[in-house]
Amino acid sequence: MKIELPDLSLVCLVGASGSGKSTFAAKYFRSTEVLSSDAFRGWVADDEADQSATEDAFEALFHLAGVRLKRGRLTVIDATHTRREDRAKAVALARAHHAIPVAIVLAPPADVCLERHAGREDRRFSTRVVRNQHRDVLRSLKHLRREGFRHTWVLKEPETIDAATIARVP
Ligand code: ATP
Ligand code: MG
């Protein structure tokens, strides 16, 4: 799949834990383009897993995203974006800065996410959480355009995710 991204996009990665968002972001984008909710939890609370820091982490993340968009820099938000409210905040931010809201959805089979989850030390939550996120992602697909995402790319097979290419277009 050839993913075309307008130069001034705000890209929301959408996917359950273990779907491969951070791996995808590291492969296809500059590290400075990617704002990850985990990293911001780390910066505000010294603990990437501290869920009590989520609100403050997103406040800081959105601030930096806004600054980047104001300066015309493509920005990627690496967070699950499984909830409609979270996606809506990103769409509103993009619009406020005349950037194009884009969703790249990573939805490999739930078993793939769960298998990866099982192999990780840094994810303390239960497999039920991953299953629910996966279900929410699939349910969200048909709403993304109506929510305001101008472009939506949905990658479901692990092979499609690994073989994707990204081109920036003016
Ligand atoms: P989280 O929401 O918990 O941050 P994530 O969606 O960012 O999860 P990653 O951290 O990218 O997921 O990947 C989870 C695990 O799966 C990692 O151990 C990673 O090495 C592995 N993984 C991710 N993508 C791939 C891939 N395309 N092929 C093989 N392994 C992968
Ligand atoms: Mg991640």
Q: How far is CA 154 from the centre of its chain?
A: 12
Whether the CB of 116 sits within 6 Å of ligand 1: yes
Quick one: which atom of ligand 1 is closest to the CA of 23? 11
pLDDT digits (tens, 9 = 90+) for 3-13: 999 999 999 99
Calculate how far, in angstroms, residue 5's C-alpha sits from the geometric centre of ligand 1: 22
Q: Note the pTM of the prediction, 2 decimals.
A: 0.97
The parts of the chain modelled with pLDDT lower than 50 are none
- Intra-chain end-to-end CA distance of the chain, in Å: 19
DSSP H or E stretch at residue 165: strand 165-169
Identity of residue 97: H
Q: What are the residues facing 100 on neighbouring strands?
A: 9
Q: What is the pLDDT of residue 124?
A: 80
Kindly report, residue by residue over 81-105, the tens digit of the pLDDT. 999 999 999 999 999 999 999 999 9
**Sheet architecture: strand order including 100-106:** 34-36, 75-78, 9-14, 100-106, 151-155
User: For ligand 1, atom 14, which residue shows the shortest CA distance?
Assistant: 18
Would you say 101 and 90 are in contact if contact means Cβ atoms under 8 Å apart? yes
Q: Is 80 in the pocket of ligand 1 (CB under 6 A)?
A: yes
State ipTM.
Answer: 0.98
According to DSSP, residue 33 is labeled: G
151 lines ligand 1 (CB under 6 A): no
To which residue do tokens 């995808």 refer? Answer: 24
Could you tell me whether strands 165-169 and 2-6 are parallel, antiparallel, or unpaired per DSSP bridges?
A: parallel
pLDDT at residue 121, as a whole number: 85
